[in-house]
Amino acid sequence: MWINRKIASIILEVSRQYPVVLLTGARQVGKTTLLTRLFNEYDYISFDLPSIAEQAETNPQLFFSKYNKNIILDEVQYVPEIFRYLKHEVDKDPKRGRFILTGSQNFALMKNITESLAGRCAILQLYPLSHSEIHAVKQFDNITDIDFILKGGYPKLWSEPETVKEIFFSSYIATYIERDVRNIINIGKIRDFERFFRALAIRSSQIVSYSDLARDVGVAVSTIKEWMSVLWASNQIFFLEPYYRNLGKRLIKSPKVYITDVGLLCFLLNIKDHDDLMHSPLLGQIWETYVVCQLMIQYSFKGLKAGMYYWRTRDGSEVDVIMEHGGKIIALEIKFSEFVKGSELTSLKNLIATVKKERVHCAGVIARTSHRYTIDDIINVMPLDEALELI
C-alpha cells in the first residue's frame, strides 16, 4: 500500500532549482521508496552493497559512465570520495535535478557537502510518517493519537498492517546497531549501547544530563557524549535548544532530547498496548515527544529547518515549545488532558510577563481536546491539528 508523503511537492520543487538534492532521514523512513516513485525515469544505484561502493570510489568516472546523467544515489555516506566527482560533474553540467541523493547519517554527509557541494545542493529531511499522513488514508481515518503513539510512523507498519511491531522494532534496533553504529564508532559492548538507548528513552522530552546517563549505564561521560552524537547523526534523536534571547541570565541553557519516532520510544519503554500507555508514569513525556515530533515533521513538509525551542528558568518555570514568527514568539505548553485550567499555566503566564504581551504572537496549550477554547485574552487551548497550522 502506498501512503502519500506531504514532503513530495517540496522535493520536486527543489529538484527544479538545484542540480543536487539530498534527502536525509533514519533508516526505513521511506527515502528510497519515495524518490524512486517521484523520479521513476532515473537510474538507481544503492551503495549499501560494499562491492558497489568500492567500485564507485575506486574509479568514479568509469563507474558512472555506465549510467544515464540523471541518477538516484542511495546511502551516499558509504562513498564519501564521490562528492568531489559530483562537484566536477555539476560544474561541467549544472542541469537542475541531475543527482538525487539519500543518506542515513547526518554528520558525514554534511561535512562532505559543505566541502564539495556548497550552493549546489538542497538538503531536506524525511521523518517517519506523520499522523496527518496516516489519517489521510481512508482505511486509517479513524486512527486516534493513542493508536498512533503505540505504533509510530515507520511506513512498513502501516503499508503492511500484518507486520508485528515488536518484531519490527527488535529487528530495526539490531540492524541499526550492526550497520550504522558500528560503521561510525567502535562499540565494545553492544549490550551497553542498547542499555544506553533504553535509558535515554526514559529521558525523552527531558533536559540532557550526560553524567546521570553515564552513572545509570555504567560508562564514562565521554562515551555517553559519543553515543549521543551517533544517535543524532543517524536521525534517531533530535534536540530542542533553549530559548534565551534577551530574557535574562537565570535560564537553563542545556538542550532537551527527543526520540524521533514515538512508536520506537514505546518499544524501548516496553509499552505494548493502551493499558500500558495509560498507566505509564512516563505518559506525559511520551505525549510531549509525540506532539513535538509532529511539529518537527510539519516544518519538514515546507522544506524548513525547525525553528523550535523551549524555555526554562532556574526556579522551575518551563514552557515546552517556543517558535518564532515575524519577530514575535509562539509559546506552547503540551498537556495530556482534555480540560486545562488557568491555574495550570503559571509558567506560560510567567513567560508572557517576561517578554511582554506585544511580543507574543500566540500563546496556547496543545491538549487532547476536540475544539479550541479560551483561557484568557491571550491563551487558548487547542487540538494538535490546529497547532500544526501555526507553522
Kindly report the CATH number assigned to the domain that includes residue 100: 3.40.50.300
Cell readout for 184 is 561510525
In-domain check, residue 369: yes
Residue 152 lies in a domain: yes
Whether residue 240 is found in the same domain as residue 163: yes
Q: How far is CA 210 from CA 179, 238, 256, in A?
A: 25, 15, 12
Residue 373 forms part of a structural domain: yes
Looking at residue 116, what is its pLDDT?
82
Range of the domain at 290: 139-301
Reference 288, options 149, 133, 128, 158; nearest CA is 149
Measured between alpha carbons, how far is residue 259 from residues 86, 130, 201, 237, 318 in Å? 33, 14, 7, 5, 20
Last residue of a domain, one of 76, 94, 125: 125
Q: Are residues 335 and 296 in the same domain?
A: no
134 lies in some domain: no
Retrieve residue 232's grid coordinates: 543524532
Q: Are residues 112 and 179 in the same domain?
A: no
255 to 188, 229, 242, 389: CA distances (angstroms): 28, 13, 6, 25
The predicted pLDDT at position 8 comes to 98
Same domain, residue pair 188 and 336: no
Q: 84 and 62, same structural domain?
A: yes
Query: Looking at the domain assignment, is residue 171 inside a domain?
Result: yes
Question: Do 106 and 162 fall into the same domain?
Answer: no
pLDDT recorded at residue 282 = 98
Tell the burial category of 100 from Cβ atoms under 10 Å away from its Cβ (0-12, 13-18, 19+). Answer: buried
* 121 plus 143 within the same structural domain: no
Query: Does the pTM exceed 0.85?
Result: yes
User: What CATH number did the domain enclosing 280 receive?
Assistant: 1.10.10.10
Domain count, the chain: 3
Q: Is 318 in contact with 347 (CB distance < 8 Å)? A: yes
Q: What secondary structure does DSSP assign to 233-246, as a single string?
A: HTTSEEEEEEP-TT
The confidence score (pLDDT) of residue 315 equals 83
Last residue of a domain, one of 245, 274, 301: 301
Same domain? For 241 and 350 the reply is no
pLDDT of residue 177: 75
Same domain? For 250 and 107 the reply is no
In a domain, 312, yes or no: no
Spell out the per-residue pLDDT of the chain, length 391, in tens: 899 999 999 999 999 999 999 999 999 999 999 999 999 999 999 998 999 999 999 999 999 998 888 999 999 988 988 899 999 999 999 999 999 999 987 756 677 777 788 889 999 999 999 999 999 999 998 999 999 999 999 999 999 999 999 999 999 998 887 777 776 676 667 788 889 999 999 999 999 999 999 999 999 999 999 999 989 988 999 999 999 765 555 567 789 999 999 999 999 999 999 999 999 999 999 999 999 999 999 999 999 888 899 999 888 889 999 998 888 999 999 999 988 988 889 999 999 988 888 889 999 999 999 899 998 888 999 999 999 999 8
Do both 99 and 197 map to the same domain?
Answer: no
Q: What residues does 374 pair with on adjacent strands? A: 380
The answer for residues whose C-beta is within 8 angstroms of residue 231's C-beta and 6 or more apart is 197, 200, 237
Give yes or no: residues 118 and 197 share one domain: no
Q: What is the pLDDT of residue 95?
A: 94
Q: What is the rounded distance in angstroms from the CA atom of residue 171 to the CA atom of residue 264? A: 12
| Shared domain check, 336 and 277 | no
306 domain-assigned:
no
Last residue of a domain, one of 301, 334, 353: 301
Domain assignment present for residue 75? The answer is yes
